[in-house]
């Protein structure tokens, strides 16, 4: 029967074309459909030409429909295919009381005292995703009000912006707290004037004793007028570091002593510790709860999404909100996300970069976004992982392998394949009967992406061709055994010396290699090799040869070296340097 009269087959093709169209924004691709049909119906392999005529006709017909018409047909006839796709795309649970607010506003508020690392991924991606989910606003707020201990550095403001950009998080508004000191002073004045905050001149030890006993320190009961005078003197530079702090009044009976009359502003020696942005302009600096607490309200933040280590801060800040007559935003506290084996300590990262232990903030051993980017870990993988975990309050421990699994799924579909032989070893094949034209697909499931092509021509009277194979493969080769050169031919190992393996041509067919379970190996034609260094996650370098097609690749592209792993190209010049992602 001619294929064009085979109605069952045409129905099968029509389904494949429609599904393909729906997953490609309305435009089905004939090549992909042909691959799928041939995969299911091997009997059609002898009728490829006829088949492709039938497919092309159906593709034209389907592509002339609108996208929504296509989707409607698919949903009516094969709803199960669409449901599955939707279930895979996991969504975040709804925000609490979202409909109470006309505009959902979230924020990410880092201290620019270091580059960002995987430990911040949850705060960033959840806050950003929720803002997008509700067509809301995502704020980036630099919390840089500690020029002494957690000292910000100018380079980190920019690296943080770059990291957010790389993660695909669009910032709708940006604020820098060191620009906002007059605002914090203004609200502090109000709090003091209304008797809700006070200047405390106690020695820390004396204050601690009082507060543990749930008693007010002597400063607390001074009247507001005198408090305001002290506050003016504080701002005027009459006190030195440690001589005075402003405290916000709370319930002195609160169960947690760390909540009672928490410190809101303190003095920092501005000459000794100038701020990288505003220099020695200010000597009174707000502490975390005052600055973050005021800003969340003033910036209209509706939902604070942060780690549960901030829970006590919420209790503290609620007192200030009460004093000011404000309503506290919705707060979601998620659990700790631990990545086993990841270097996430800020102080160790900074110290290691300074003393040369690490090559930079993007050293592959680090868990910084800069390092992940360099290694070819995609922002999509990080995002997918974080959204799958969601904002759960329980602690979660992940391994690098969890992240790699997400990344592999993305890269497996997107990365082109190439050959790389680490620690190369020479292998000479004799008796190659003819010139072979090797045609290696850039991607096994997507032949439309093209091929790498090599001419393998025998030379001399013994019809010899020389190759490079990986050192590991060379080591495991046994004389008498057959090895499959991928997409080329099969050879029999004859002899091994310290620096050369000799083999003879055995046969061409892949079927034969499969029958005898010959190991398929990657290869590079000797004389066409391209020197390549792969920087591994432990920062050690694997040397080897890549195939010559790699000379045309560009930096930043992520490829798969077959049987070796995914790797991101860092530089292509006289040689190639790549960074290893994972298997
Ligand atoms: Zn006091």
Residue 244's pLDDT is 97
What is the phi/psi pair of residue 140, to 5°? -105, 125
CA–centroid distance, 217 to ligand 1, in Å, is 5
Residue 3's pLDDT is 85
Distance of CA 561 to the CA centre of its chain: 21
DSSP 243: S
Q: How far is CA 159 from CA 127, 152, 544, 558, in A?
A: 19, 12, 33, 22
CA–centroid distance, 270 to ligand 1, in Å, is 23
CA–centroid distance, 200 to ligand 1, in Å, is 4
Residues near 129 by Cβ (< 8 Å), separated by ≥ 6?
92, 383, 387
Residue 267's pLDDT is 98
- Is residue 380 classed as helix, strand or coil in its secondary structure? helix
CA–centroid distance, 283 to ligand 1, in Å, is 20
Is there a contact between 487 and 447 (Cβ–Cβ < 8 Å)? no
CA–centroid distance, 204 to ligand 1, in Å, is 9
CA–centroid distance, 180 to ligand 1, in Å, is 27
Of the candidates 160, 250, 239, 148, the residue with the CA atom closest to the CA atom of residue 196: 250
Length of the chain: 583
Residue 85's pLDDT is 52
- Is residue 185 classed as helix, strand or coil in its secondary structure? helix
Residue 83's pLDDT is 60
Q: What's the rounded Cα separation, in Å, for the pair 17 and 251?
A: 68
Residue 72's pLDDT is 83
Of the candidates 101, 232, 41, the residue with the CA atom closest to the CA atom of residue 33: 41
- Angle between the N-to-C axes of helices 67-77 and 7-22, in degrees from 0 to 180, rounded to the nearest 10: 120
Dig out the tokens for 221 from the structure: 């009961």
Enter the pTM of the model.
0.82
**HEC readout, 430-446:** ECCCCCEEEEEECCCCC
CA–centroid distance, 226 to ligand 1, in Å, is 14
CA–centroid distance, 218 to ligand 1, in Å, is 6
Q: What's the rounded Cα separation, in Å, for the pair 59 and 143?
A: 55
Q: What's the rounded Cα separation, in Å, for the pair 582 and 524?
A: 22
CA–centroid distance, 207 to ligand 1, in Å, is 6
Residue 88's pLDDT is 54
Inter-residue long-range contacts of 455-464, CB under 8 Å, 24+ positions, other chains counted: 456/432, 456/488, 456/525, 458/431, 458/432, 458/433, 458/434, 462/430, 462/431, 463/430, 463/431, 463/432, 463/433, 463/505, 464/428, 464/429, 464/430, 464/432
CA–centroid distance, 231 to ligand 1, in Å, is 13
Dig out the tokens for 312 from the structure: 């006590």
- Angle between the N-to-C axes of helices 121-133 and 379-389, in degrees from 0 to 180, rounded to the nearest 10: 80
Specify the residue for token string 């190996």.
Answer: 521
Q: What's the rounded Cα separation, in Å, for the pair 184 and 182?
A: 5
Q: What tens-digit pLDDT sequence spans the chain (583 residues)?
A: 788 889 889 999 999 999 999 888 788 989 889 988 988 888 888 888 899 999 999 999 998 888 878 888 888 888 877 765 555 567 899 999 999 999 999 999 999 999 999 989 999 999 999 999 999 999 999 999 999 999 999 999 999 999 999 999 999 999 999 999 999 999 999 999 999 999 999 999 999 999 999 999 999 999 999 999 999 999 999 999 999 999 999 999 999 999 999 999 999 999 999 999 999 999 999 999 999 999 999 999 999 999 999 999 999 999 999 999 999 999 999 998 888 887 778 989 999 999 999 999 999 999 999 999 999 999 999 999 999 999 988 888 989 999 999 999 999 999 999 999 999 999 999 999 999 999 999 998 888 999 999 999 999 999 999 999 999 999 999 999 999 999 999 999 999 999 999 999 999 999 999 999 999 999 999 999 999 999 999 999 999 999 999 999 999 999 999 999 999 999 999 999 999 999 9
Q: What's the rounded Cα separation, in Å, for the pair 44 and 410?
A: 31
- Residue 532's beta-bridge partner residues? 544, 576
Is there a contact between 524 and 467 (Cβ–Cβ < 8 Å)? yes
CA–centroid distance, 261 to ligand 1, in Å, is 10
Specify the residue for token string 């704020």.
Answer: 139
CA–centroid distance, 567 to ligand 1, in Å, is 59
Residue 344's pLDDT is 77
| Sign of the CA dihedral with 498 first, then 500, 504, and 507 last | positive
| Sign of the CA dihedral with 371 first, then 374, 376, and 382 last | positive
DSSP 479: T
């Amino acid at each position: 029967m001619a294929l064009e009269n085979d109605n069952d087959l045409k129905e099968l093709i029509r389904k494949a074309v429609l599904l393909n169209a729906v997953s490609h924004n309305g435009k089905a691709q004939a090549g992909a459909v042909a691959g799928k049909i041939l995969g299911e119906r091997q009997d059609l392999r002898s009728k490829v030409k006829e088949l492709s005529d039938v497919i092309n006709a159906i593709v034209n017909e389907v592509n002339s429909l609108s996208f929504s018409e296509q989707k409607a047909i698919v949903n009516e006839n094969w709803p199960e295919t669409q449901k599955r796709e939707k279930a895979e795309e996991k969504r975040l649970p709804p925000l609490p009381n979202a409909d109470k607010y006309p505009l959902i506003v979230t924020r990410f508020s880092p201290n620019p005292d270091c580059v960002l690392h995987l430990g911040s991924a949850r705060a960033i991606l959840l806050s950003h995703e929720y803002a997008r989910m509700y067509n809301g606003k995502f704020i980036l707020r630099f919390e840089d009000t500690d020029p002494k201990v957690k000292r910000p550095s100018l380079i980190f403001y920019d690296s943080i912006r770059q990291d957010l950009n790389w993660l695909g998080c669009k910032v709708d508004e940006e604020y820098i707290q060191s620009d906002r000191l007059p605002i914090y002073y203004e609200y502090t004045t109000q709090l003091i004037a209304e008797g809700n905050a006070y200047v405390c001149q106690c020695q820390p030890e004396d204050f601690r004793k009082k507060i543990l006993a749930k008693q007010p320190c002597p400063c607390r009961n001074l009247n507001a007028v005198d408090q305001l005078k002290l506050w003016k003197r504080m701002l005027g530079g009459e006190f030195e570091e440690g001589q005075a702090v402003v405290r916000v009044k709370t319930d002195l009976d609160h169960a947690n002593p760390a909540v009672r009359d928490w410190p809101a502003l303190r003095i920092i020696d501005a000459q000794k510790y100038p701020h990288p942005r505003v220099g020695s302009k200010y000597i009174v600096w707000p502490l975390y709860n005052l600055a973050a607490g005021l800003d969340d309200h003033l910036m209209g933040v509706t939902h604070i999404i942060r780690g549960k280590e901030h829970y006590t801060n919420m209790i503290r800040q609620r007192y200030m909100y009460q004093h000011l007559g404000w309503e506290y935003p919705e707060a979601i506290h998620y659990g700790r996300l631990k990545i086993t084996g990841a270097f996430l300590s800020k102080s160790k990262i900074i110290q290691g970069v300074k003393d040369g232990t690490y090559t930079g903030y993007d050293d592959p051993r680090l868990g910084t976004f800069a390092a992940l980017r360099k290694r070819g870990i995609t922002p999509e993988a990080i995002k997918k992982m974080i959204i799958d975990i969601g904002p759960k309050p329980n602690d979660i421990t992940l391994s690098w392998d969890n992240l790699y699994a997400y990344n592999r799924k993305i890269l497996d579909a997107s990365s082109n394949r190439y050959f790389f032989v680490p620690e190369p070893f020479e292998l000479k094949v004799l008796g190659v009967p003819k010139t072979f034209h090797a045609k290696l697909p850039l991607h096994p499931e997507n032949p439309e992406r093209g091929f790498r092509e090599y001419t393998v021509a025998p030379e001399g009277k013994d019809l010899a061709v020389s190759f490079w194979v990986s050192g590991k493969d060379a080591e495991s080769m046994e004389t008498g055994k057959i090895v499959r050169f991928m997409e080329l031919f099969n050879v029999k190992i004859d002899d091994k010396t310290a620096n050369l393996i000799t083999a003879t041509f055995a046969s061409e067919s892949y079927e034969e290699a499969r029958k005898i379970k010959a190991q398929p190996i990657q290869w590079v034609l000797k004389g066409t090799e391209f020197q390549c260094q792969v920087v591994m996650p432990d920062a050690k370098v694997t040397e080897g040869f890549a195939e010559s097609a790699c000379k045309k690749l560009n930096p930043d592209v992520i490829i798969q070296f077959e049987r070796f792993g995914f790797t991101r190209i860092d530089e292509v010049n006289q040689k190639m340097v790549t960074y290893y992602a994972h298997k």
